[in-house]
Structure 1
């Protein structure tokens, strides 16, 4: 934009289109073009992030089922039911106590 002749910039500044000037639209267009350009300087500096191949949802589900199995193996009676009711809402019964 700084390479444009000042007369051209003044002309764009004087032209009104609704509440904005033609210069406003020109600047927004330049920003849009530069943001999507393959040759923009900041696009070349971005390092690709490595993808974590571990399935975290699967790991969490496995840990959840493991904790349920441990709870079921304990012989503590009503305390187990209360704990399950509080911390495992998926398997919640009406009211354990």
Structure 2
């Protein structure tokens, strides 16, 4: 866990470190990634031992702390080195400089959005309609409705029937409904 002292220092220096990251990312040809580089460095930093971080924070030189120098070194390394943790984790997509992307004709494809709630409601009604159309005993219908539609547990069943009988009845009705909906032969 990072101490509040270290946390406050990071918050205080964040904007300056971001400027430094912006400069080095600009030099490396990836100006839009400065914030990502800094955040990757800070994420790595915060995984270090808190005692080590406080030690770096306590050593001061020319108005800066060793923590500043460490972070600045890590920013520069992550922005410029091809083998750095940031660059190896987030490799840039290759770009072909011979292609004028503005002249490409890209087809806009509308993705079909599935309303899961509507689909669920449709299936729910489908099960109810099939159940109503089936020639089942009142007990079988009551067991299925209790478990499926009311979402109740058989351990709280108001009757005296054994749990095994309730589960067997429910599973048989469920299988009959599934077969009816999918068009499989019931017998």
TM-score (norm 2): 0.27
If asked which structure has higher relative contact order (CA below 8 Å, sep 6+), I would say 2
Q: Which has the higher helix share?
A: 2
TM-score (norm 1): 0.43
